[in-house]
Chains A and B, each alone.
Chain A
């Protein structure tokens, strides 16, 4: 298996995630795009782990850590969105312009 195939897939998934991040207005859907980018990064970590044949399996271990941090991020992110929704009755990021002059 050429490593480029995995790297290109990871790059494509990451770019699609960036596209979603820029295009979406709903905060929950923005978090979904971030999750997509996390998956792309994990693919790269595992592919490089196998490519380098690391005896310490650093790629796999840090992919596990990345998954755990992603889960924490989603939990906090959804809690914040929930609070915003409770106060503003909307999860649309365009309407969160309280700091705009």
Chain B
């Protein structure tokens, strides 16, 4: 398949329309000097993934990304930013100096070339087949509660452990507050 063939399908245009802003948003997440801007750029990148999932016909996963990642995780991040040192606005101390940046860019570029070469080599002209319709949420629910019920239970246990662990780690210890000599 040549580059010209890529632009004959309208879905590919939609893909580019979603993917390019996503890449820009991801770049902004890692480079901006403003913490809140980084979080908002991450919202853009995650919204792009949700749009791509809809393009691929995985609607339930797309709305899960919107609800959990954009809705809950981002709010958690904003809480974290506002609680740990409030200087919201331009800040210069967020990234390492230029010398570190060059090496990091080289390392991640090499990683991208490695991944990209392997994938281009393996899946040269393969095309995602046109599905008859999107995956229905009902089908997915039946699968989760029949075929994948044990992983599902394990994940709910992980979430419970994370919930309790988060509370235990982050709560202020009242005994330590009363005795100044004792620290966590």
A residues near B, CB below 8 A? 1-9, 11-20, 22-29, 31-33, 35-36, 39, 42-43, 46-47, 49-51, 53, 56-57, 60-65, 67-76, 78-83, 85-87, 90-92
CB pair A9 B22 closer than 8 Å:
yes
Residue in B11, B64, B77 whose beta carbon sits within 8 Å of that of A74 in the complex: B77
- B68 interface contact, C-beta 8 A: yes
User: Is B182 located at the chain interface by the 8 A CB criterion?
Assistant: no
Q: Say yes or no for B175: interface residue by CB 8 A criterion.
A: no
What is the CA–CA distance of A53 and B169 in the complex, to the nearest angstrom? 43
A12-B112 contact given A1-B11, A60-B58, CB 8 Å threshold: yes
Our pick among A20, A23, A72 for the contact of B158 (Cβ within 8 Å) is A72
Decide: A92 and B159 in contact? CB cutoff 8 A.
Answer: no
The answer to whether A22 touches B58, judged by C-beta atoms less than 8 angstroms apart, is no
- Known contacts A36-B42, A68-B155, A87-B184; is A20 also within 8 Å of B30 by CB? yes
Residues of A close to B22: CB separation below 8 A: 9, 13
- List A contacts of B167 (CB < 8 A): 79
Is A85 within 8 A of B39, CB to CB?
no
- Inter-chain CA distance A85–B1, complex, in Å, is 53
Which of chain A's residues have a CB closer than 8 A to the CB of B139? 57
Query: Per a CB cutoff under 8 Å, which of B57, B93, B143, B163 touches A61?
Result: B143
Return the 5 tightest CB-CB contacts between A and B, nearest first. A20-B30, A72-B162, A22-B104, A11-B115, A15-B112
> A23–B19 contact, CB under 8 A?
no
CB of B163 within 8 A of CB of A75, answer yes
> A85 CA to B128 CA in the complex, in Å?
47
Chain B contacts of A85 at CB under 8 A? 83-85
Residue of B nearest to A77 (CB): B80
Cβ distance B6 to chain A, nearest Cβ, rounded Å: 7
In Å, the complex CA distance between A47 and B30 comes to 25
Q: Residue A68 contacts which of B1, B29, B159 (CB distance < 8 angstroms)?
A: B159
Report if A2-B128 is in contact (Cβ < 8 Å); known contacts: A19-B104, A33-B30: yes
Query: Once the chains are docked, how many angstroms separate the CA of A43 from the CA of B53?
Result: 8
Query: How far is A11 from B22 in the complex, measured between Cα atoms in Å?
Result: 13
Indicate if the CB atoms of A60 and B166 lie closer than 8 Å. no
Instruction: State how many angstroms separate the Cβ of B56 from the closest Cβ of chain A.
Output: 5
Which one of B23, B68, B112 has the greatest number of beta carbons of chain A within 10 Å?
A: B112
Chain B contacts for A46, CB-based, 8 A: 52-53, 56, 58, 61
